[in-house]
């Protein structure tokens, strides 16, 4: 009886220039730093990409080290179920979870959605992000993207009423969603929500800091409010219903597609609308999230569109329409 060939885990840090700069309330950056996990076995290779996020205390170097510490377990045949117990939710587990799924699909000769018993993903419309800036700069950037059907507007506190008014003037037909990245406060919450409602915004993402968002339960929300930094995996869903109408599911928060799919099902059962989000990264990081996009009211998978270049064989984008991945990329 011949034993199965052993698996090997390799990890690397990659740097991808951003087209211009990407600016939110916490600062600006000009490159996306990703960590890629590659699991190989018997001539087959599975890959997963993650983006360590300083907001959650993650760094590329620490993520690399956390993944390298998994090499012996991966070589010993650790599966995705065991992975959920061994590693905490976060960027590192996301890269490995997605790499193991990719390898599973290739080993089985199936697309990953068939392997998981999920419907085949269809093309979907992604939001396109407008970075934080002055009202004039944001209006100019919005005007260049005004033909896109869904725009995600980064806001940052003081002056956000002027920013969103300028954006709406520059894109009269686009659906607008807003991401404040925790920059508002209880004493200006209702003012800025009203400004967004007046501009016809559909959704406001994470207006208050995580852990300091009780005020959302004490007001009548004029538009839907979505949790991002306040929600990570299934364990963080409980108690959010009084404060939020939707949850933003990101693979780097959930620790991979395995937990993200379970979280999406649980969130819908609790009555939340679903948003699928991303960090600025390549198509390899977006590809697994396409399975989640089928359950989402809002899809925000524009990471590759914000880069100066994407990796070879990346997702196909036709304007704001994004297509499912080819097997050679992932899954």
Neighbours of 202 (CB within 10 A): 15
Q: Which of 8, 169, 220, 250 is catalytic?
A: 250
| Number of alpha carbons in the 13 Å side-chain half-sphere of residue 324 | 14
Question: What residue has token string 């080819």?
Answer: 326
Q: Which of 29, 154, 169, 253 is catalytic?
A: 154
Start-to-end C-alpha separation, the chain: 30
Residues 13 and 36: their CA atoms lie apart, in Å, by 6
Residues 51 and 35: their CA atoms lie apart, in Å, by 6
| Number of alpha carbons in the 13 Å side-chain half-sphere of residue 156 | 15
The separation between CA 161 and the C-alpha centre of its own chain, rounded to angstroms, equals: 26
SS3 state of residue 219: coil
User: Residue ranges of the alpha helices (H) in 55-111?
Assistant: 60-68, 71-75, 80-86, 91-108
CB 33 within 8 A of CB 86: no
Our answer to whether residue 250 is catalytic in this structure is yes
Our answer to whether residue 154 is catalytic in this structure is yes
**Residues marked as catalytic:** 154, 250
């Amino acid at each position: 009886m011949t034993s199965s060939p052993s698996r090997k885990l390799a990890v690397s840090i990659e740097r991808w220039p951003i087209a211009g700069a990407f600016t939110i309330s916490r600062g600006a950056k000009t490159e996306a730093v990703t960590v890629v996990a590659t699991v190989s076995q018997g001539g087959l290779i599975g890959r997963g990409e993650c983006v360590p996020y300083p907001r959650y205390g993650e760094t590329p170097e620490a993520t690399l080290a956390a993944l390298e510490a998994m090499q012996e377990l991966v070589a010993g045949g650790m599966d995705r179920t065991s992975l959920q117990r061994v590693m905490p939710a976060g960027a590192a587990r996301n890269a490995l979870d997605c790499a193991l799924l990719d390898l599973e699909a290739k080993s089985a000769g199936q697309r990953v959605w068939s392997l998981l018993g999920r419907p085949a993903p269809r093309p979907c419309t992604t939001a396109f992000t407008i970075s934080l800036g002055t009202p004039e700069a944001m209006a100019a950037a919005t005007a260049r993207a005004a033909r896109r059907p869904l725009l995600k507007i980064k806001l940052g506190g003081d002056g956000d009423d002027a920013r969103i008014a300028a954006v709406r003037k520059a894109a009269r037909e686009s659906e607008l969603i807003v991401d404040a990245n925790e920059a508002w406060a209880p004493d200006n919450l209702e003012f800025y929500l009203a400004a967004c409602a007046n501009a016809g915004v559909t959704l406001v993402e994470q207006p208050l800091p995580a852990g300091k968002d009780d005020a959302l339960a004490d007001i009548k929300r004029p538009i839907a409010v979505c949790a991002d930094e306040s929600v990570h995996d299934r364990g963080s869903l409980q108690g959010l219903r009084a404060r939020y109408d939707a949850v933003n599911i990101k693979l780097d928060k959930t620790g991979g597609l395995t937990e993200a799919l379970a979280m999406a099902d649980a969130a819908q059962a609790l009555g939340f609308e679903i948003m699928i989000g991303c960090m600025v990264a390549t198509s390899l990081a977006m590809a697994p999230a396409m399975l989640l996009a089928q359950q989402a009211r809002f899809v925000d998978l524009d990471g590759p569109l914000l880069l100066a270049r994407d990796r070879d064989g990346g997702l196909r984008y036709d304007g704001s329409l994004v297509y499912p991945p080819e097997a050679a990329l992932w899954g």
